[in-house]
């Protein structure tokens, strides 16, 4: 098990990828932390599957874990839930020497990471992603946040984990619709950075999953190392498909469309814009859309979806600066860039065509 090193400014941490790692959590974390008190934050569904072995492993290593569960679903990713987590940690006596374990998918990682960032002005935390989406994307890079009525991830903090423990055996419990969410981000990484991986996806076999997860973590790690806080334009490339995707999520009130599905639709729209603004070949556009479809991801919005709400959400997107549209386009599979000539009219046309 060779660790993947994520360099984030002056800080670095490891991502471990393997099997039966949750059972080794105590031994792994005893090398990282001196404080004994810790919290395990998980949603009710994930906790029922994986909290017990993690608690047992931590206890056997001399830690004193407190399990904090929240309702599953994006609806829990709120300031209120972050406050509730902090309150539970305070009740359990956790202090500045304590740490938090985020056990679950992307919602849990974002919310628990944000709680760790604000509790006692910041305590360490560990990401234990249990979904493919979280393993290849959201557990890496230090972005933590909650949603508000103003938009997705509107309140957050940069707070890198001390360690990422990716146990591939957790994926065996994922229903197929949840596995598909992760492939949306995998396809995105291939489109913006890795044409060779895109070709490999055309012949994907389940036995390739461990190496695929590692490759995607390496891609995300390299981008984070090059531009930790999105100040150089490199990390912005990860937003391919996300501008319109996040607007679709908001229009669906974070319950009607799953994240990966929204990003798939956002990528289809981004490809249409890329044809006009970046010279993307129709053949490449068709290959991207076909690949999304082949992995069971949507490529068209339902006819009755409230497109006007998508347009409203676009207009308040936090990725826009000084009212200028900052949009990621792909000129060819395996590359991407920030476009400065995309207009609101371009976005509206792409949304109406979905």
The residue with tokens 């360099």 is 7
Q: Using N-to-C axis directions, what is the helix angle for 79-91 and 106-118, rounded to 10°?
A: 60
In angstroms, what CA-CA distances link 134 with 86, 183, 198, 247, 306?
A: 23, 11, 20, 20, 28
Q: Please pick, among 77, 180, 214, 246, the residue that the annotation labels catalytic.
A: 246
Q: What percent helix, strand, coil does the chain show, rounded to 5?
A: 50, 20, 30
What's the distance, Cα to Cα, between the start and end of the chain in Å? 43
Torsion sign across C-alpha atoms 285, 214, 240, 145: positive
Q: Please pick, among 55, 74, 77, 143, the residue that the annotation labels catalytic.
A: 143
- Report the alpha-carbon distance of residue 215 to residue 226 in Å, rounded: 17
Q: Please pick, among 55, 230, 261, 272, the residue that the annotation labels catalytic.
A: 230
Clarify whether 285 is annotated catalytic: no
Q: Please pick, among 214, 220, 258, 307, the residue that the annotation labels catalytic.
A: 220
In angstroms, what CA-CA distances link 340 with 39, 231, 240?
A: 44, 16, 14
Clarify whether 230 is annotated catalytic: yes
Q: Please pick, among 74, 185, 261, 272, the residue that the annotation labels catalytic.
A: 185
253 Cβ partners below 8 Å, 6+ apart? none
Query: In the structure encoding, which two tokens stand for residue 219, read together?
Result: 């891609």
Clarify whether 185 is annotated catalytic: yes
- Report the alpha-carbon distance of residue 258 to residue 36 in Å, rounded: 37
Clarify whether 220 is annotated catalytic: yes
Vertex 111 angle, CA 105 and 116, to 5°: 120
197 Cβ partners below 8 Å, 6+ apart? 186, 189, 190, 212, 215
Q: Please pick, among 152, 160, 188, 239, the residue that the annotation labels catalytic.
A: 239
Q: Please pick, among 34, 121, 176, 207, the residue that the annotation labels catalytic.
A: 121
Clarify whether 235 is annotated catalytic: yes
Q: Please pick, among 152, 250, 258, 259, the residue that the annotation labels catalytic.
A: 259
Q: Please pick, among 77, 160, 189, 242, the residue that the annotation labels catalytic.
A: 242
Clarify whether 143 is annotated catalytic: yes
- Report the alpha-carbon distance of residue 261 to residue 204 in Å, rounded: 20
Clarify whether 326 is annotated catalytic: no
Clarify whether 216 is annotated catalytic: no
Residue pair 146/79 in contact (Cβ under 8 Å)? The answer is: yes
Q: Using N-to-C axis directions, what is the helix angle for 282-294 and 176-193, rounded to 10°?
A: 160
What element of type H or E holds 220? helix 209-226
Q: Please pick, among 235, 258, 285, 307, the residue that the annotation labels catalytic.
A: 235
In angstroms, what CA-CA distances link 165 with 161, 196, 200, 256?
A: 10, 26, 25, 30
**Which active-site residues does the annotation give?**
121, 143, 185, 220, 230, 235, 239, 242, 246, 259
């Amino acid at each position: 098990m060779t660790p993947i090193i994520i360099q984030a400014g002056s800080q670095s941490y490891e991502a471990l990828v393997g099997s039966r790692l949750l059972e080794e959590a105590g031994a792994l974390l005893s090398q990282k932390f001196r404080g004994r008190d810790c919290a395990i934050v998980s949603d009710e569904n994930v906790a029922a599957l994986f909290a017990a072995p993690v608690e047992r492993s931590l206890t056997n290593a001399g830690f004193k874990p407190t399990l904090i569960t929240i309702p599953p679903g994006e609806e829990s990713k709120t300031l209120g839930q972050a406050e509730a987590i902090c309150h539970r940690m305070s009740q359990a006596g956790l202090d500045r020497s304590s740490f938090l374990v985020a056990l679950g998918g992307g919602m849990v990682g974002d919310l628990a990471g944000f709680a760790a960032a604000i509790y006692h002005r910041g305590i360490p935390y560990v990401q234990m992603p249990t979904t493919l989406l979280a393993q290849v994307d959201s557990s890496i890079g230090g972005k933590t946040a909650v949603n508000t009525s103003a938009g997705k991830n509107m309140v957050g903090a940069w707070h890198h984990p001390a360690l990422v423990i990716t146990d591939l055996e957790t994926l065996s419990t994922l229903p197929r619709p949840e596995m598909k969410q992760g492939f949306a981000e995998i396809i995105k990484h291939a489109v913006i950075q890795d044409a060779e991986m895109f070709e490999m996806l055309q012949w994907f076999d389940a036995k390739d999953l461990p190496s695929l997860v590692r490759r995607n973590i390496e891609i995300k790690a390299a981008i984070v190392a090059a531009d930790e806080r999105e100040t150089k334009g490199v990390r912005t490339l990860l937003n391919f498909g996300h501008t319109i995707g996040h607007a679709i999520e908001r229009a669906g009130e974070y319950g009607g469309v799953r994240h990966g599905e929204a990003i798939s639709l956002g990528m289809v729209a981004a490809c249409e814009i890329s044809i006009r603004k970046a010279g993307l070949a129709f053949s490449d556009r068709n290959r991207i859309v076909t690949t999304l479809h082949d992995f069971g991801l949507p490529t068209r919005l339902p006819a009755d979806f409230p497109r006007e709400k998508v347009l409203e959400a676009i207009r308040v997107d936090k990725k826009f600066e000084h009212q200028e549209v900052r949009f990621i386009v792909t000129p060819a599979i395996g590359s991407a860039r920030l476009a400065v000539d995309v207009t609101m009219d371009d976005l509206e046309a792409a949304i109406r065509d979905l």
